Amino acid sequence: MKIVVLDGYTENPGDLSWGDMEALGELTVYDRTSLTDMQEVIDRIGDADAVITNKTPLPKEVFDACRNIRYVGVLATGYNVVDVDTARERGIPVCNIPTYGTAAVGQFAIALLLEICHHIGHHDKAVHEGRWEKNSDWCFWDYPLIELADKTMGIVGFGRIGQATGRIAKALGMKVIANDEYPNDSGREIAHYVSREELFARADVIALHCPLFPSTQGLVNKESIAKMKDGVIIINNSRGPLIVEEDLRDALNSGKVAGAGLDVVSTEPIRGDNPLLQARNCIITPHISWAPKESRQRLMDIAVEDLKAFTDGAPINVVNK
């Protein structure tokens, strides 16, 4: 079996091994493949049987040109880069990687929140620049410092990752409320379920952990922000288009929203004209919630399991049944 990995660098920049996947066939790994030049995608796939992608698109024209494809693996949970309908019509299973980053993404959401509350990076830099040494008082701070105990965390999307964030928030002494289309018993052990409108009205901190659907696209917008508390904090390390970025910029600059911690934006990599780059009190990181080595190793292990299950005739994690 010929296996091609189209964009393996972000998953494995050199600190992991492709060895277990290589044991399953003749493996070719490309660090990056064009996101727009489909001829390059087609040429690199060639007569491969199994194609592994992360963000490289696989539209219908790729399937039309590469008739040997029998399997598609996605090195992520989201699979919108693949034309799953065409793959289904041709009997090609598309398999994703569920649950690999639950702990890492929940941890990162809280890291964004704590940075907003304490501005640790800023104050560390100030010390190294000599400002503490020259200060007249024994301490100083440049931003309001926020204690989270007894404040309310509202989490939109209370699946595995939302619940991981909720557990940490609860351990910090926060009250946790949640909104989810499908409430479940495990979630009720952590949070009290409420409507989205009630969550917006009550929460001191709002964390977004929901998928991107038509019903959730732009859920943080001018109208929903108006329903929130003055001084609310917004955390998003789920999907960038959950937020109308111009509206959040305006709310940050007016002070209606006290701070935002974002690991995702609408177009990635971020563009220089993204309105959030002109927002006050807005922390933006380059989509790295998922990226601790432990999480990426788990992703690699599941990708190998997916491919091995296919070769054994019983594919798992199939998203286009």
Please tell me the predicted confidence (pLDDT) of residue 191. Answer: 98
Task: Name the 3-class secondary structure at 58.
Answer: strand
* The CATH fold of domain 2-100+293-311: Rossmann fold (3.40.50)
Segment (H or E) for 51:
strand 50-53
Please tell me the predicted confidence (pLDDT) of residue 274. Answer: 98
Torsion sign, CA atoms 218, 224, 225, 226: positive
Please tell me the predicted confidence (pLDDT) of residue 235. Answer: 99
Are 2-100+293-311 and 102-284 equal in CATH topology? Answer: yes
CA nearest to 270, candidates 254, 284, 288:
284
Angstrom distances, CA of residue 64 to CA of 45, 58, 61, 83, 287 = 12, 10, 5, 11, 32
Domain ranges of the chain: 2-100+293-311, 102-284
- Output the furthest CA–CA distance in the chain (Å, rounded): 73
Task: Name the 3-class secondary structure at 105.
Answer: helix
Q: At what angle do helices 102-118 and 293-311 cross, to 10 degrees?
A: 160
Please tell me the predicted confidence (pLDDT) of residue 165. Answer: 98
Please tell me the predicted confidence (pLDDT) of residue 208. Answer: 98
Please tell me the predicted confidence (pLDDT) of residue 218. Answer: 98
Q: What phi, psi does 102 have (nearest 5°)?
A: -55, -55
Residues of the chain with confidence (pLDDT) below 70 = none
Residue range 42-96, pLDDT digits in tens: 999 999 999 999 999 999 999 999 999 999 999 999 899 999 999 999 999 999 9
| Alpha helices (H) in 131-267, listed in sequence order | 160-171, 185-188, 196-202, 222-226, 245-254
Please tell me the predicted confidence (pLDDT) of residue 304. Answer: 98
CATH assignment of 102-284, among 3.30.70.140, 3.40.50.720, 1.20.210.10, 3.40.50.10860: 3.40.50.720
Active site residues: 239, 268, 287
The Cα angle at residue 237 between residues 285 and 246, in degrees rounded to 5? 75
CA pair distance 262, 260, nearest whole angstrom: 6
Please tell me the predicted confidence (pLDDT) of residue 310. Answer: 98
Angstrom distances, CA of residue 95 to CA of 48, 51, 81, 265 = 16, 11, 12, 25
CA pair distance 288, 295, nearest whole angstrom: 11
* Cα Rg, the chain, nearest whole Å: 22
Please tell me the predicted confidence (pLDDT) of residue 320. Answer: 97
On the question of a cis peptide bond just before residue 269, with omega within 30 degrees of 0, the verdict is yes
Please tell me the predicted confidence (pLDDT) of residue 177. Answer: 98
Residues whose CB falls within 8 Å of the CB of residue 165, separated by 6 or more in sequence, listed in order:
105, 106, 109, 110, 153, 155, 207, 209
